[in-house]
Chain A
Amino acid sequence: MSIVTARRISQIFFFLLFLWFCIVATLGEQWWQLRGWPVNWLIQLDPLVGLGTLLATGTLYAGLLWGLLTVIVTILLGRFFCGWLCPFGALHQAVGWLANRGRKASMMIAANRYRRGQGVKYALLVFLLAAAAGDLIGRLLRVSIDSPAKAAGIVAVMLVLIAGAARAAKRSVKRWTAGIVMAAIGVAALSLLTDGSRLLAASLQTGLLDPIPLFYRTVNLTLLPLVDGRLISISAASRLYPGVFAMGALFWAAVFLNLAVPRFYCRFVCPLGALFGLLGKNALWRVGQKADGCTACGACDRYCEGGCEPATVLRSPECVLCMNCLAACRHDVMGFHQHASAAGEISVPDISRREFVATLAAGAAAVPLARLAGMTGEAWNPAVIRPPGSLAEGEFLQRCIKCGQCMRICPTNVIHPAGLQAGIEGIWTPVLNFRMGTSGCQQGCIACGNLCPTAAIRPIALDERLGKGTFQSRGPIRTGTAFVDRGRCLPWAMDRPCIVCQENCPVSPKAIFTREEYRPIRLGGDIRLQGITGNRLLIEGPVLPSDQLATGDYFVAIDGRRNIPPARIADIGSSGITLADNPFSGAAEKGDRVTLLVRLQQPYVDPSRCIGCGVCEHECPVKGRRAIRVTAENETRERRHRLLL
């Protein structure tokens, strides 16, 4: 079996595995449902997820340790993940192959030549990791300056460091180190002059471009909902995700750019590929030419997936180990050796020190800039309701990779990707939208936290969610609080009986309660009493809407008989109004004015009971902008948002 065949089988295997993981990510115990399928395995194997969260939080969460395996193999062999494992790469390779069919060799060789732009992905990687590393830098630099002696000490250390760095820079040794030291000194100096608390912040944005979360997200949110239907029913109800257009557009742009340059995304954009390029610098075995025998026919360049130019000086950080050059070479010159390519090799990623420092600084500076919007503090958006178990906003943004697994698994389809409501950093992070979906957030469900690969939504137990057992003292997890919009609510604003929110409130005792009020209804004119027979009131006046009034919510009062409580209308007939029970016998006279009342049960929310599940909002019959809506007030995850003591 040739190595190229093995690679193809591997790519197909992992691509199908990926698709399978996407399909089975639906709650249930059938073999085609979630069961125990390790649907996050490919995300966990992606070391950029692990590295990003490690930089942002200082911890490597459970399954992300799988990324270490990938890292080790990459250090030893190079970018095997790109050529053999990555399902997104496999897709690009397939599309690129389709696009190249029938093209001349010269065209293909031209398309596969190395371009300076391939260095962009390293810049993107540095930018994204620097954005995630703000807190880490802060922790490293964190010294409390509370005495002049300490300040003097720090200044002295800094002077020594500056002198050392200047000397190092002068001797051009370890230039990068010098640059980093200089930057650190700059930050430290700024910290000394300012509070420092705002200069550094961490935000994990690798997920925007990291191919594995990107592919998961796109398939979960923009592709599966399209094919979900009659033949294969993947989810209980067909899915909607407002605002995924940009998400899909990014995906299709990445796919169609393969027509211009094969594996465009992998070569120019992919920050994960860039990470592998850096890691594989010292790979023990590498693709390259033997010392002699090359006729410079260019056949190896023709099918090169990485655009690393094996025919001439090989750019080893670009090589994705597709092994096509081995198969294509008629002279058996190409091989996988311990030594560098005989025609020369550049094993350093194509990013200059200047670019490196600039993107590093830009990444570290971008997050504090974004934080000036105050979305994680004072200017928090109450419309951002995070799934139950989510961490406080700052920590949440240090973990969420926008992979969309929570949105995919949510049985009621209430978890949606955010647009800009959670700030520029929060784009495509999960928020609850109770206007959509099949119901609110289900009390007995803990799916999102158990699917989250990075614990941005914690894997809570049912007891913790419900506030039972050992969690009794903490109470149930609240995602927000429902507020009645009295200007839109039917019984509050429009004199129409409705207790849908109260009836549907799933917590016990109910968080929504009602208070009764009787209000006169509008009629075309006065109603006068003509006589009473048994339970019937004979009346004179405008024609009454009998269907509406006989529903049990309408009552009769007779003016001037204030001590008699209103009597319920049982029926409206040609002969008058039939009451369920007639308290007026002998107490009213002919000619008395009759008032028809509607009994309204006006809803109130008890904030100490409400968990913000949104079932009321979902069920509210005012369908456009609901008359009862949940906002994030009193959510458990942010103590600062609490409403009650």
Chain B
Amino acid sequence: MTETPIDRREFLGRCTRAGFSVAAAGALGFGFYDSSGPDGLSGAGASVKIPDFSIPDMKGKLCIARGTVQGMDRAATVRAAFEALGGMKAFVKPGERVLLKVNAAFASPPTLGATSHPDLVAAVVRLCLDAGASRVTITDNPINDPASCFALTGIDTAARRVGAEVVVPREALFERFTVAGGRLIRDWPVLYAPLARSDRIIGLAPVKDHHRSGASMTLKNWYGLLGGRRNIFHQDIHTIIQELAMMIRPTVVVLDGTQSMLTNGPTGGSLSDLKPTGTLIVSTDPVAADAVGAELLGRTAADLPYIAKAERVGAGTADYRSLNPKEIQVS
């Protein structure tokens, strides 16, 4: 048998390629070798971070604006309240992106008071844009179908009118998040994308009775940032509100007590559940805001265990009078 040079060259080529193949296989095999196997703690990877949106200089600011009990003008009242705290410019700097976390939890009309009132939403958006905000985004992860919630509450129309963007939650906008030192919010889906794209966050909540937690105001409002099967948290509602207070440090919150839902909360459903209370609170301290709101419901902060719990983790103070609140009257 004779071996031609072509044969030899071909064989050497093959040797090289086989050598590379062996080396590649070995590198892959040993490179990805895992002697211990998975640890079974699924999704325990690095959690996203939620920034602190509060402004250090503005700590403990609180304004209680009272208007006519019947037919209070929300837009005028909220403007006056912000004015009393130094104007929206003190909260939103030109070019900043603002997220309004409204309460759009239910597909019910604004008259029933279960959701943030579109007039108020529009007014706050205008204030932000006037202060130079580059973009105002509105979001919530409601309980009923999101699209119909935003539409029926009138928030969608109002937002469009004044030039704000409504972000309807969908799966891709959620990220798994763990509250440092938290027990419940661990590796839990949170409506993260709008948070990540914003410099300031303003919470907008109506004053409502709540069947489980006693009341639903500015702190409970952050519940709408949670995804997944969050109703499991109803087993320990006060702790989840406490952890929400740890999760979100807002720039400012607006608590709308123009009318308060005294019974059958948080859904209401009847005008008889509502009582005109003619009050609107703007505060950089959500705990203090809720403490004021509790009185509108005819309760005290002590009646709502979550307020004390939120206070304990440094989210604010329940003794709102210690903040020297500005009380103004808007006719």
Any A–B CB pair closer than 8 Å = yes
A interface vs B, CB < 8 Å?
Answer: 50, 54, 57-62, 65, 67-68, 71-72, 75-76, 146, 195-197, 279, 281-284, 290-291, 338-340, 389, 391-392, 395, 455, 458-460, 636-640, 642-645
B235 and A62 form a contact (CB under 8 A) = no
Contact assessment for A68 and B229 in the assembled complex, using a CB-CB cutoff below 8 Å:
no
A282-B21, A290-B1, A458-B37 known; A640+B229 contact, CB < 8 A: yes
The size of the chain B interface, using a CB distance under 8 A, is 42
Structural contact, A60 and B171, CB atoms closer than 8 A: no
A50 close to B29 (CB less than 8 A): yes
| Contact across chains for A59 and B18 when beta carbons are under 8 A apart | no
From B2-10, B55-63, B201-209, B273-281, give the one contacting chain A.
B2-10
Closest-CB distance, B40 to chain A (whole angstroms): 5
B42 near A637 with CB under 8 A, answer yes
Near A by CB (< 8 A), chain B positions 190-220 give 196-197
- Point out which of B38, B228, B229, B235 has the most chain A C-beta atoms below 10 A from its C-beta: B38
CA distance A296 to B170 in the complex (A): 69
Checking B34, B36, B39, B236 against A60 with a beta-carbon cut-off of 8 angstroms, the contacting residue is B34
| Contact of A76 with B18 at beta-carbon distance under 8 Å, contacts A146-B196, A338-B11, A645-B184 already known | yes
Q: Closest Cβ of chain A: how far from B161's Cβ, in Å?
A: 27
A contacts with B: majority SS:
loop
Query: Which of chain B's residues have a CB closer than 8 A to the CB of A636?
Result: 40
Chain A residues near B36 (CB, 8 Å)? 62
Residues 1-45 (chain B) with a chain A CB within 8 angstroms:
1-3, 7, 10-11, 14-15, 17-18, 21-22, 25-26, 28-30, 32-40, 42-43
Contact residues in A for B42 (Cβ distance below 8 Å): 391-392, 395, 637-639
Chain A contacts for B7, CB-based, 8 A? 339-340
The answer to whether A54 and B32 touch across the interface, beta carbons within 8 angstroms, is yes
List, in ascending order, chain A residues with CB within 8 A of B2's CB: 291
In the complex the two chains form, what is the Cα distance from A44 to B25 in whole Å? Answer: 15
Interchain CB contact under 8 A, B235 and A283: no
> Could you say which of B28, B34, B171 contacts A195, with CB atoms under 8 Å apart?
B171
- Known contacts: A291-B1, A291-B2, A640-B228. The answer to whether A60 contacts B38 by CB under 8 A is no
Q: Which residues of B contact A59 (CB under 8 A)?
A: 32-34, 38
* B25 smallest CB distance to A (angstroms): 5
Which B residues between 226 and 269 are near A, CB-CB below 8 angstroms? 228-229, 232-233, 235-236
Nearest Cβ on chain A to B306's Cβ, whole angstroms:
15
Q: Contact between A62 and B18 (Cβ–Cβ < 8 Å)?
A: no
| Inter-chain contact A75/B232, CB cutoff 8 Å | no
Query: Which residues of chain A are within 8 angstroms of B1 by Cβ–Cβ distance?
Result: 290-291
Residue from B1, B7, B18, B235 with most neighbouring chain A CB atoms (10 Å): B18
**Ranked 5 nearest A-B pairs via Cβ:** A195-B172, A455-B37, A59-B34, A68-B29, A392-B42
Residue in A61, A146, A284 whose beta carbon sits within 8 Å of that of B37 in the complex: A61
In the complex, are the beta carbons of A197 and B172 less than 8 A apart?
yes
Flag whether B187 is at the interface (Cβ < 8 A): yes
The residue among A67, A283, A338 with the most chain B CB atoms within 10 A of its own CB is: A338
Find chain B residues with CB under 8 A from A50 CB. 29
Which residues from chain A contact B21 at a C-beta distance below 8 Å?
75, 279, 282
- Compute how far the CA of A510 lies from the CA of B187 in the bound complex, rounded to whole angstroms: 30
Most buried by A among B17, B25, B172, B183: B25
Q: Are A645 and B236 touching (Cβ within 8 A)?
A: yes
B47 to chain A, nearest CB (A): 13
Contact check, A339 vs B34: say whether CB atoms are below 8 A apart: no
24 pairs from A and B in contact (CB 8 Å cutoff): A54-B28, A59-B32, A59-B34, A60-B28, A60-B33, A62-B34, A68-B26, A71-B25, A72-B22, A75-B22, A195-B170, A195-B172, A282-B17, A282-B18, A339-B3, A339-B7, A339-B11, A389-B40, A392-B43, A458-B40, A459-B37, A637-B40, A638-B42, A639-B43
